[in-house]
A and B are shown apart, each in its own frame.
Chain A
Amino acid sequence: MLFHIGRYFLMLRTLFSVPSKWNILWKRIVSELHIIGINSLPIVALMSSFMGGVIALQTASNMTTPLLPDYTVGYITQSSTILEFSPTIISLILAGKVGSNIASEVGTMRVTEQIDALEIMGVNSLNFLVLPKIVGAVIFFPILVIFSMALSLIGGWLALIFSDLTTTETYILGIRSFFNPFHITYALIKTVFFGFLIVSISSYYGYYVKGGSLDVGKASTQAVVSSTVAILIMNFLLTYLLLL
């Protein structure tokens, strides 16, 4: 365990060095924004819409007491979405999708000697391969999360309207009630950390894989598991530091 942590930080040190050509780094970042970000939009949209709907319906189904105002459903949907669902659950989904993809891509490059080829040419392979992915994730994950928040709230609204459980006005009143803009900042800060962890941990497992295709598969699974654990721990720490 200590060995992995030590090697992970050594990897980060090599990773954050000055690139040999800035224009190549920029091109690679744009490409990674597409692969990591744009390609994740459909899954984020699907998950967010349905989860927003489910949160709203579950909250409404539990609102049996007349003491709570009608707009509570909207308020709870808003706060669950912004505080936890969009930043954390979507990041966990992305750890599965993006993390496994990165670990297997980098791992395959390792076992097919493509990383050795880069090193022999004199290219800092970590800087060339991993840095653009990290920058891409750190830039695009917050955009995905804002997109997820919007779709989740729309999903909640549609579910409530079609189930005839509330009116549009009441729902909008609910999602505007007690709105704290810092919660958006908190969610975005969390997402930046989660994006960094997902990409760096997955790249770590891919980069140091040894063996063949079976080992790449194992590394990919290990990357998802470790990223998930890291996200949960970081989520706890950031919540403690930022909200209390």
Chain B
Amino acid sequence: MIEIKGVNKSFGKDQILFDINTVFEKGKVNLIIGQSGQGKSVLAKCMVGLHDVDDGEILYEGSDFTKMRSADKSKLRQEIGMLFQGSALFDSMNVEENIGFPLTMFTSMSKNEIQKRVDFCLERVNLVGKNKLLPSECSGGMQKRIGIARAISMNPKYLFCDEPNSGLDPKTAIVIDGLIQDITREYNMTTVVITHDMNSVIEIGENVLFIYQGKRWWQGDRKSIITTDNPEITNFVYASEFMKEIRANIQNSRN
């Protein structure tokens, strides 16, 4: 479980996050949604330590990440897997080297053990036999799956996914969403997904945090986000005229 308590973050004079308080639950896919520029990625980057918070607490199973010593932070980070928006695979390494990289760096596993673990992770993301490909030889969807395989190679307790569906066609996006959900349940991880893809919200949003103007505006599940009357959320969820029509139809059918 990850708990956020009173987090504020500014860049110079611009305050991006205002007193964020929330809980991301274990074994669930927790989504952070909101329009671009509202502070979703900044919050996620604060949570993994890429940005320092101005004040507030980020508690991983009760331990405050913001106040940890550098060595403890490094240790905790080995329990965090992250899938980046652009996958962030290492260009100079092939698929198996990318996936095996954290194992080579932080474990004393033998080459054979690493190979077995890499093969297992590749099998888990349905990429058996793609070991020797370079990232540049892989499609966008494959790169995301390799990113997931690398993120889970260390058996993390926490998985962060930054816009996992960006740049993917709807069908592949659903495959990636399904994979994230399955892995979360299988390993009982605390998964945090940053997205503005409504399909993802509907597919996997068990705990959805809506950030608006840097504030925690709303939190609930995928069912309640469809029915809420909160104007900022409805503007986000039903952004197009077509979606607004669908919402009107839903409301009419209820009445």
Chain B 28-54 per-residue mask, 1 if CB under 8 angstroms from chain A, else 0: 000000000000000000001110000
Roughly how many angstroms separate A117 CA and B85 CA in the complex, as a whole number?
11
Secondary structure type dominating chain A contacts:
helix
Asked whether B77 lies within 8 Å of A121 as measured between CB atoms, the reply is yes
Whole-angstrom distance between the alpha carbons of A120 and B159 in the complex?
A: 11
Closest residue of chain B to A124 (Cβ to Cβ) is: B74
- What is the interface of chain B, defined by CB distance below 8 A to chain A? 48-50, 73-78, 80, 82, 84-86, 88-91, 101-102, 104-106, 160
Q: How far is the CA of A144 from the CA of B78 in the complex (A)?
A: 40
By a beta-carbon cutoff of 8 Å, the part of chain A in contact with chain B is 20-21, 24, 108-109, 112-114, 116-117, 119-123
Closest Cβ neighbor of B104 among chain A residues: A24
Least Cβ–Cβ distance between A27 and chain B, in angstroms: 10
Cross-chain pairs A/B with CB under 8 angstroms, 10 sampled: A21-B104, A112-B88, A113-B88, A114-B90, A116-B50, A117-B82, A120-B49, A121-B105, A121-B106, A122-B74
A24 CB contacts on chain B under 8 angstroms: 104-105
Chain B facing A: main interface SS = mixed
Given contacts A20-B106, A120-B82, are A114 and B88 in contact (CB under 8 A)?
yes
> How far is it, in angstroms, between the C-alpha of A113 and the C-alpha of B101 when the chains are bound?
16
CB pair B48–A121 under 8 Å, yes or no, is no
Assess the A122–B77 pair: CB atoms within 8 A.
yes
Per the bound structure, the CA–CA distance linking A122 and B89 in Å amounts to: 16
Residues of A near B91 (CB, < 8 A) are 108-109, 112, 114
Question: Could you say which residues of chain B place their CB within 8 Å of the CB of A109?
Answer: 91
Partner of A123, one of B49, B75, B85, B105: B105
- A120-B49, A121-B101 given; name 15 further pairs at CB < 8 Å: A20-B106, A21-B104, A21-B105, A109-B91, A112-B86, A112-B91, A113-B85, A117-B82, A117-B90, A119-B50, A121-B102, A121-B105, A121-B106, A122-B78, A123-B105
Provided the pairs A120-B77, A122-B77 are in contact, do residues A113 and B105 lie with their beta carbons within 8 angstroms?
Answer: no
Bound-complex Cα distance A122 to B72 (A)? 10
Q: Are B77 and A113 in contact (CB under 8 A)?
A: no
